[in-house]
Homo-oligomer: A and B are copies of this chain.
Amino acid sequence: MYLFFFNKKRKSEKNVLEHIKKCFRAHRNCVFEHIVFCHQTLLYICLNMKKYTIKDIAEQAGVSKGTVDRVIHKRGKVSQKALEKVTRILEEIDYKPNPIAQSLKNNKVYQICVVLPDPKEDNFWIPCVDGVDQAIEEFKSFLVDIKLFFYGPSSTKSFKEVNEQILKLAPDAVLLSPLFQKESINAVKNYRSAGIVVSTFNSQIDLEQTVSFVGQDLYQSGRVAAKLMHTIVPDHHDIVICHFSESLNNAIHMQQKEKGFRDYFNGLKGTEHNIVTLSVDQMNPDRTLINFLESNNKALGFFVTTSKSYNLVEILQDHSHKDIKVIGYDLLDKNNDLLKKNKISFLIHQSPKTQTYLGLTYLIEHFLFNKEIPHTKLLPIGIVNSENLITYL
């Protein structure tokens, strides 16, 4: 589609029409269709692009469809003369094969395996399953087969096992949440050497062998949290970066968030806040926290680097403390309740559902329609308060 803008006043309608027709008669791939006048002095002209097929090209070049196909796919066995003639036409009309016809001809059922931590053990992953379900539903009548596998979020062994089993299945692609760096790199290498396409989501992995990553910039999300904290906590109060974690595997995530958080405050002209880091012992979180609070009565803002904000708030509540501000991650039910009750000021949304949904649709549409897969897709960092929460659910 092209739009051309002319000054309506300069020529009469009829003259313009003639002029345009003459201009575009030469363009073989433009079919003059209609003329539309509207909006102030602008003239809109609609041209339709003719959709060419290999048959058209074959006729134009005086060769057979087979030859055209050989040229398009560079399969050789074409004379120099035919090659030149056909390529010239292809370029001239900017030929793009009909992906629907290609797909039909292809007629292959693509197998995609999704690997993520068991949502029963860490409910951060529940929305990821929803994202997979949505993609399955949306493409159920297409020739794709999506299989879902879980591993224990703190068991490298189960992660290895799952990937070995999937390797045996020999799918066309794997969408992977690479929680464990070392094991993931190994798994990806195995997949790649078996010719299996690998996409990742949520956790980034420093490896060029994956075709795509869908996730969030964790460093930047730390900065976002810091900015929010800065706007809600008055000067001369301490701020606590609080690492709650079930397993040690997301240590890197927490570090990136902490770095972003601290960098934001360090970048301020005169820093009025003292920032301390607190790692909460998962075995005995209450004790750790109470001890901390007793020795630090200036702490007013808490930044929880994982989805465990509710855990912090519950403990704080039991020790009926002053008006402490909490900023955390992830729209878990428990967090959402506390957000509505103003016990949590903001939650940062990592869009887990969108991550798997997008990761999958990229793969599917690539296989079915040759669509390009973006190498890195960083999702917006969602700031959620009690009022826009509902629009994210």
A-to-B contact residues, CB < 8 Å: 1, 3, 34, 36-40, 42, 44, 46, 48-49, 51, 96-101, 103-104, 109, 118, 136, 138, 140-143, 145-152, 155, 158, 161-162, 165-166, 168-169, 216-217, 220-221, 223-224, 226-228, 231-232, 264, 345, 368-369, 371, 378-388, 390-392
Contact = CB atoms under 8 A, between A and B. Distances in A.
B118 A39 contact: yes
B387 A264 contact: yes
B100 A38 contact: no
A38 B379 contact: no
Contacts of A44: 149, 165
A39 to B, nearest CB: 4
A227 to B, nearest CB: 4
A196 to B, nearest CB: 15
A40 B158 contact: yes
Nearest to A384: B383
Given A165-B37, A383-B384, A387-B226, A49 B145 contact: yes
A94 to B, nearest CB: 9
Contact of A1 (B145, B232, B368): B145
A39 B150 contact: yes
B97 A141 contact: yes
Contacts of A46: 147, 169
A169 B36 CA distance: 9
Contact of A34 (B37, B161, B168): B168
Contact of A388 (B40, B42, B232, B383): B383
Contacts of A147: 1, 3, 46
B382 A161 contact: no
A380 B371 contact: no
A390 B39 contact: no
A380 B383 contact: no
Contacts of A37: 161, 165
Given A97-B141, A141-B97, A149-B44, A158 B391 contact: no
20 contacts: A1-B147, A34-B168, A36-B149, A36-B162, A36-B166, A36-B168, A38-B158, A39-B161, A39-B162, A97-B141, A99-B141, A99-B142, A100-B103, A231-B385, A264-B387, A380-B388, A380-B391, A381-B388, A382-B382, A383-B384
Contacts of A143: 51, 98, 100
Contact of A51 (B96, B109, B231, B345): B109
A38 B149 CA distance: 9
Given A380-B391, A383-B385, A146 B1 contact: yes
Contacts of A224: 385, 387-388
Nearest to A170: B34
A345 to B, nearest CB: 7
Contacts of A150: 38-39, 42
